[in-house]
Amino acid sequence: MAQKKDVWQGTLALMVLKTLDTLGPLHGYGIARRIEQTSGDLLAVNYGTLYPALLKLEQEGYISSEWGVSDNNRKAKYYKLTRAGKKQLEREARDWEQTTAIVARFLAPGEEVS
């Protein structure tokens, strides 16, 4: 079985925003599990990276949070996408598509970069 890879630097925020856009409000553990599931369990989300990223996204106004109760009856902070977060998601997705297209040009077999 292949070893899980860490989430690529610079992509965690995009994955968090997309997860919240798709599923609605989630707590940190739920966000991490969904990212791992969506990757086919090929990515591992480091909680020491996730929670600072959530805090940064909240400070930037892209997500908001409120305390609630999880499925297993524990207190949990739930995060949801804000209107500004939806716009940021669109910007980051567009930037990611452009970046991967550029890198793909370098990796294309037998093609010259022009």
Confirm if 32 and 52 have CB atoms less than 8 A apart: no
Q: What is the pLDDT of residues 53-83, one digit of tens each?
A: 999 999 999 999 999 998 889 999 999 999 9
Question: Rounded distance, CA 67 to CA 59, Å?
Answer: 17
Q: What is the pLDDT of residues 6-40, one digit of tens each?
A: 777 679 999 999 999 999 999 999 999 999 999 99
Q: Where are the alpha helices (DSSP H) in the chain?
A: 12-23, 28-38, 47-59, 83-107
pTM, two decimal places: 0.86
Query: Residue 5 pLDDT more than 80?
Result: no
CATH number of 5-107: 1.10.10.10
Residue 69, classed as helix, strand or coil, is strand
